[in-house]
Amino acid sequence: MTDYLSTGSLPEEYRQLALTVRDFADRVVAPVSAKHDAEHSFPYEVVAGMAEMGLFGLPFPEEFGGMGGDYFALCLALEELGKVDQSVAITLEAGVSLGAMPIYRFGNDEQRDRWLPQLTSGTALAGFGLTEPDAGSDAGGTRTTAVEDGQDWVINGSKQFITNSGTDITRLVTVTAVTGQTGGKKEISTILVPAGTPGFVVEPAYNKVGWNASDTHPLSFTDVRVPRENLLGERGRGYANFLRILDEGRIAIAALAVGAAQGCVDESVRYAGERQAFGQAIGRNQAIAFKIARMEARAHTARTAYYDAAALMLAGKPFKKQASIAKMVASEAAMDNARDATQIFGGNGFMNDYAVSRHYRDSKILEIGEGTTEVQLMLIARELGL
């Protein structure tokens, strides 16, 4: 089986990083994935291991406790983790892209100095409270409000589907809230809300179809008071700033999805060589071999797409369209490959002890979270002038 890391297509420092994360994923993550999935338990020991490796600090400067790397390095780590456990991969992706990155991009010196060393070290996590029952892609539906009262913001409202919001090491959530009206439209700003602030309640965790070891909660805010200096970035620019974060995050989600797609290929190749039926390995049947060949083609195409988007981003060139293409292609590849892998595994593919069954349950959210497939199509069409 040809390994993309053995082709010489990556600079050596990136290749070594990917190999190191692959080894960690195989030795530490994979053996406990089924257990945490079945128990719906957060893998604190795995997160601690990722923190020790410096994965949460990969794309941040050393002055903030980071590793001095870049976003592509993060993507390579996410791909390797996504092969064996999407819950672990999304914990890292959300911790970096949605938790720490908004503070790095838009925070002032005091906010960066206070929060980033904790977040980049992986000893603390942060969430981003954007989605509401009536608002996600539609910012105009935001109902959570933040009103100035003396030296404080007073926040009221609710959020849903917020990742990394209720762990024992969650230290804050960045919240989008309506802070006024501008030109007849809602003025949306982002405000930092530390964990434990009175009136800020992390509601019971969701019972999800997949990503069972990822921490996801609804949040409620009842007369939550935080200092005015907790405003993150310019007032009224909260949603606009987060769109930039989402563009970057879509490349990271694409990398995670490529990992899931490739993981299904690798598991299927192994199983097809071992499983005997009618006197021979099932991989000798052309129907099985061709199915796996198509799976490999999907993974390769999706990887090429996210590499391209990441290269444009790191070069400082426009990448919005390419990020949407990568996210759409990769998430569909993950879902298609998970379905095909489950079919190849037959009855075993329906058993939760097998990685392909978890990929089958986990992969669907990749077509929904951080911008649905329909949103990606809308963005691509818009970039084409349609």
Question: What are the pLDDT digits (tens) for 23-32?
Answer: 999 999 999 9
pTM: 0.96
CATH value of 240-383 in 3.50.50.60, 1.20.140.10, 1.10.3720.10, 3.40.920.10 = 1.20.140.10
Q: Are 149 and 116 in contact (CB under 8 A)?
A: no
Closest Cα partner for 329 from 352, 312, 304, 347?
304
Residue 370 dihedral angles phi and psi, to the nearest 5°:
55, 40
For residue range 254-301, what is the model confidence (pLDDT) as tens digits?
999 999 999 999 999 999 999 999 999 999 999 999 999 999 999 999
What are the structural domain ranges in the chain?
Answer: 4-125, 126-237, 240-383
Based on the residue annotation, tell me whether 187 is a catalytic residue of this protein: no
Q: Which of 79, 296, 332, 370 is catalytic?
A: 370
Interacting residues of 176 by C-beta distance below 8 A, sequence separation 6+: 129, 130, 139, 142, 144, 188, 189, 190, 238, 239, 242
For residue range 139-181, what is the model confidence (pLDDT) as tens digits?
778 999 999 999 999 999 999 999 999 999 999 999 999 999 8
Helices and strands counted in the chain (H then E):
12, 10
Average pLDDT of 9-29?
A: 95
Average pLDDT of 76-94?
A: 98
CATH number of the domain at 4-125, please? 1.10.540.10
Q: Are 174 and 191 in contact (CB under 8 A)?
A: yes
Superfamily of chain region 126-237 = Butyryl-CoA Dehydrogenase, subunit A, domain 2 (2.40.110.10)
| For residue 6, pLDDT beyond 80 | no
> What letter would DSSP give residue 6?
G
